[in-house]
Amino acid sequence: MDASNKPEDLDGPRMGTLGPERAAAVRGIWSGALGHTVRCVPARRTVAVAATGGAWLFGKWHVGCYRTAAAEWRWLHVLPLLGMRTAEPLVWLGSRRRNLLVTAGVPGRALDVWAVEAQRTGRLDEIVGYACREVAPAIRRLHDHGLVVRDLYWNHLFCEDPGAAQAPILLDVARVLRPRWLWRRWVVKDLASLWASVPFPLPASCALRFLRGYLGEPLFLHARMIRAIAAKAARIRAHVPRFG
């Protein structure tokens, strides 16, 4: 499917495949009658809609960002084929100037939220264990497929239960890239982004445990790479976000 779908397609056969409740929610998002804003930056706005039965839909508006929307729509379909869990893509409507991409909500909570609660309740080792056991291998598998995320932060990784054996769900996949050059630089950035986005200070031993889970080899074999990741993480933490 591509963004040649026009607003009149809201009554077309593809909408029928969503079921009446989801189709009605998509129509409401398109018309502006439904949805509260959960994130807004220049050229993009994400809205959330509560559907029947406690489910959620998320609509991401792209204004003048056709290529970004096209990339996100593509990766939402490709990444599950490679074993990475993502939000379920539902429909992509509009034109090159203004389009709407709608996905189903995902279960669970962001891992940074889990981490904050775990720190408060004395269960931090459970979150660190989940990150080393499930997240690190998932990111390594993605890298082994020649892909980098470029937006790899803990708030973009969801899970239902950090105590269970379940892979994380990756959100915001529009910037996923298969780089032709500077591979090591992009891998370092992905791993440093995770290191830098932990919502509170952690002992370096936790980061090293995660990297051990990612590398699957003794850390001394990758000392230079680990130093590069730590340095990049420090630069990311010092960076002032453009949009907060």
What are residue 221's DSSP bridge partners?
A: none
d(CA 61, CA 2): 15
pLDDT-wise least confident of 20-24, 50-54, 57-61: 50-54
pLDDT score of 243? 53
pLDDT score of 244? 52
Given a contact cutoff of 8 angstroms between Cβ atoms, the answer to whether 150 and 170 are in contact is no
Whether 214 has a pLDDT exceeding 60, the answer reads: yes
Closest CA to 187 of 136, 234, 128: 136
pLDDT score of 60? 94
pTM of the model: 0.90
Q: Over pLDDT 90: what percentage of the chain?
A: 72
Whether 229 has a pLDDT exceeding 90, the answer reads: yes
pLDDT score of 3? 46
Dihedrals φ, ψ of 226, to 5°? Answer: -65, -40
Whether 9 has a pLDDT exceeding 50, the answer reads: yes
Whether 129 has a pLDDT exceeding 50, the answer reads: yes
Note the pLDDT tens digit of each residue in 31-54.
889 999 998 888 889 999 997 667
Quickly state the pLDDT bin for 64 (edges 50, 70, 90).
confident
Q: Convert 41-76 to b/e letters by CB count within 10 Å (16 or more is b).
A: eeebbbbbbebeeeeebbbbbbeebbebbbbbbebb
The mean pLDDT value of the chain amounts to 90
Note the pLDDT tens digit of each residue in 88-123.
999 998 878 888 999 999 999 999 999 999 999 999
d(CA 40, CA 175): 17
pLDDT score of 184? 96
Note the pLDDT tens digit of each residue in 171-208.
999 999 999 999 999 999 999 999 999 999 999 999 99
Structure-block tokens of residue 217: 């080899």
Closest CA to 55 of 103, 110, 99: 103
* Residue whose tokens read 């074993």: 83
Q: Over pLDDT 70: what percentage of the chain?
A: 91
